[in-house]
Amino acid sequence: MPLAAARPILQPDHPATAPRGAAAPEPILEVRDLATTFATPRGPIRPVDGVSLAVAPGRTLGIVGESGCGKSMLSLSLMGLVPAPGRVTGGSIRLEGRELVGLAPAAMRSLRGRRIAMIFQEPMTSLNPVHTIGYQIVEALREHETLPARALKEKAIAALRQVRIPAPERRFDEYPHQLSGGMRQRVMLAMALACRPALLIADEPTTALDVTIQAQILDLLRELQAETGMAIILITHDLGVVAQVADEVAVMYAGRIVERAPVAAIFDDPQHPYTIGLMGAMPRMEDERDRLVVIGGTVPPPFALPAGCRFGPRCPFAGEECRAAYPPTAEIAPGHAVACWKAPVETQA
């Protein structure tokens, strides 16, 4: 097997970010028909089932969905971290032009943390409580760089400074329990960004945080993206967060992307009945006290998917064709694609 590590690594820093709204630059990550399969006693299940997406440098792709839609398994698939007995069984993941599906574990480990990094929802469980945060950042750096201890420490402190942690020299020697939730998430970010990855996957990074701290972390993500030009995939269940930080949005349901569009179009012109339902189910501060739109039923478990469109049994617009076959994904406007037989729904009135 040709050793991928021998290939020239891309520039240490990323090309300058293209201004928002300009012609989309070449994607840094391109995923096509990705499938992740688990063998279970009830037969194989596919929490990620034919997902295609792309994200360009300096851009943020928001992936929205409810529990069980496969969004977290998608991010683990991208990281090459699918837990056994699951594995990626189809499709392609190209990061900076390089195929990740089928990559040897050692080669993947060398990319992970260096070109593609991830932060999780609960920083307390991702940090080791018995080591100082400085030790943990140095440990992550040492995985990819051979530097003297002093240089590693300086680099770790610089990483803490980059995420706006006050007095980073002092924080270096503190333990996770001495930090607030917001500070811990900053440490996770420092660790993830220490090697300047080209792509950051943030899986519900602010869900466990208070709303004022969430605003600080989202703002920090925006600033760091502007500084480094990294691409971000932000996984969340919160449409408010998506509206605040994403450039493009993909809505996931039962392992598939049912709609993807530029962020303005998702909120202004949602096409898929599931997206429309989500918009109505979300309580808004602007609204008077009234009833929320309800999406009946629950997300089907992956071992009991309905035939045809997976949203069909919950969909008010569903008809014969929806029960017969899964709808193809059609582009209805530039960058706006939807997988629904009934879209646009106005024709169903």
Please give the residue ranges that form the binding site for another protein (CB under 8 A).
66-67, 180-183, 210-216, 218-219, 237-244, 246, 263-264, 267-270, 273, 276-296, 298-299, 316-317, 345-346, 348-349
Least distance from another protein to the Cβ atom of residue 110, Å: 36
Least distance from another protein to the Cβ atom of residue 283, Å: 4
Residue 279 — φ and ψ, nearest 5°?
Answer: -60, -35
* H helix or E strand, kind and range, residue 317: none
Of 37 and 341, CB closest to another protein: 341
Least distance from another protein to the Cβ atom of residue 72, Å: 13
The CA distance from 70 to 312, in Å, is 18
Least distance from another protein to the Cβ atom of residue 286, Å: 3
The CA distance from 199 to 201, in Å, is 7
Of 151 and 293, CB closest to another protein: 293
Instruction: Walk across the sheet containing 330-333 and list its strands.
Output: 116-119, 199-203, 231-236, 60-64, 248-253, 256-262, 336-338, 330-333
Of 176 and 182, CB closest to another protein: 182
Least distance from another protein to the Cβ atom of residue 59, Å: 14
Q: Tell me how crowded residue 139 is: count the other CB atoms within 10 A of its CB.
A: 14
Among positive and negative, which fits the CA dihedral 123, 129, 132, 135? Answer: negative
| Helix and strand totals (H; E) in the chain | 12, 12
Least distance from another protein to the Cβ atom of residue 338, Å: 13
Which DSSP category does 198 fall into? S
Of 88 and 251, CB closest to another protein: 251
Of 33 and 219, CB closest to another protein: 219
Burial 51-67 (b: 16+ CB within 10 A, else e): bbbbbbbbbbbbbbbbe
Of 47 and 277, CB closest to another protein: 277
Three-state DSSP at 197 gives coil
